[in-house]
Amino acid sequence: MDRPALQRLLKDIEAGQVDVIVVYKIDRLTRSLADFAKLVEVFDAKSVSFVAVTQQFNTTTSMGRLTLNVLLSFAQFERELASERVRDKIAASRKKGKWTGGSVPLGYDTKDKKLVINPAEAKTVRMIFERYLALRSFQKLVDELNRKGVRTKIRSIKGRISGGVPFTYGPLAYLLKNRTYLGETGHTGSWFPGEHEPIIDRDLFDRVQQLLRSNSEGRTGRRYQTGALLTGLIYDDRGNRMSPSFSVKGGVRYRYYVSSALVRGQRRKTGAISRVSAPTIEAEIARLVRVRIENSDENSPTPTREMIEKIVDRITIGKDRVVVNLRTSAAPVGIPWISERKRQTCSHRT
């Protein structure tokens, strides 16, 4: 249904410019019973006739409609069978270790439908694995790669150039977990010995995977259990959503909201404030919400997430001001703000 030519045809039908649609065979129009039912509704609404020159049927009779449905059922079966054959062929080729196409990873090129090592890129891949083990931190590794000018692989797709951009967390994590570098090919979660040469030895790869697991163990589950009141509502002043996070120092857990740009490793794209204390900003918003709720005062219980969502639409953290857009008022509310660093400086001076 998303084919450009078919969409142009439907627009012409809606404009009343079509009387009859003629096709060689019915499956040239569609191979889906559900899609054809939608098309027939459009045809009937505009009194458009439909003709297949090699298939004779009359849709004004019950037998003609049955014939049409049978033909469409076989067309749909043929389409699905062809798709299954392609998937089976790809699976069989992958199990044999053959490269069947897709995004070529950094460190390899393609030649005669096979992966071959690109020596310069392979050196970069080994350096990334080794530096991650040494630094033990995505943020430190991203910063180092950006300082050295290391970029993602440049690819030409249908005449368009993609890639060649600084590494962020997502592409970096994908690279470090990619078993293609062990000389393997994957299919639906299973991996098989490949025809191409490995770039990373198994010992180095296994140590990196162990570090990845230890760094991320339980992080996702704990993040959703932080009880963060402002998730999905708070942004920095460059439009990046801020998500809940935490750190543990000296056995004490500190909660924060962190800019998504910083989480992705794009420090230069963060706003003036990239990280804010969760208890501090939550207290400020709770105080504002109490004022907006009738018969409330400073001693009222902390507003719930549901109460905040009813009143607050968006919170933007600026350098010295928090702007709160309210659902109940067209005018945003400004709250003077002091960053954590300034707060600590002031407290030390005091």
Could you read off the pLDDT of 307-348 as tens digits, one per residue? 888 888 889 998 888 999 887 776 788 888 776 555 554 444
CATH topology of domain 4-95: Rossmann fold (3.40.50)
pLDDT at 182: 94
Closest CA to 314 of 229, 241, 233, 238: 233
**Is residue 229 within 8 Å of 209, Cβ to Cβ?**
no
pLDDT at 216: 65
pLDDT at 177: 92
Residues of the chain with CATH 3.90.1750.20: 108-217
Mean of the per-residue pLDDT values of the chain: 83
pLDDT at 201: 94
Q: Is the model's pLDDT at 121 over the cut of 90?
A: yes
pLDDT at 135: 92
Residues of the chain with CATH 3.40.50.1390: 4-95
Q: Is the model's pLDDT at 95 over the cut of 80?
A: yes
Q: Is the model's pLDDT at 264 over the cut of 80?
A: no
pLDDT at 64: 73
CB-neighbour burial class of residue 49 (10 A; exposed 0-12, middle 13-18, buried 19+)? exposed
Q: Work out the percent of the chain whose per-residue pLDDT is above 70.
A: 88
Backbone phi and psi for residue 248, each to the nearest 5 degrees, phi listed first: -120, 120
Bridge partner list, 246: 255
Q: 321: Cβ–Cβ under 8 A, 6 or more apart, which residues?
A: 334, 335, 336, 337
- Domain 108-217 coded CATH 3.10.290.10: no
Global pTM?
0.54
Mean pLDDT of 117-143: 92
Q: pLDDT tens, 271-312?
A: 889 899 999 998 888 888 887 775 455 555 667 777 888 888
Residue 104 and residue 36: Cα distance in Å, rounded? 38
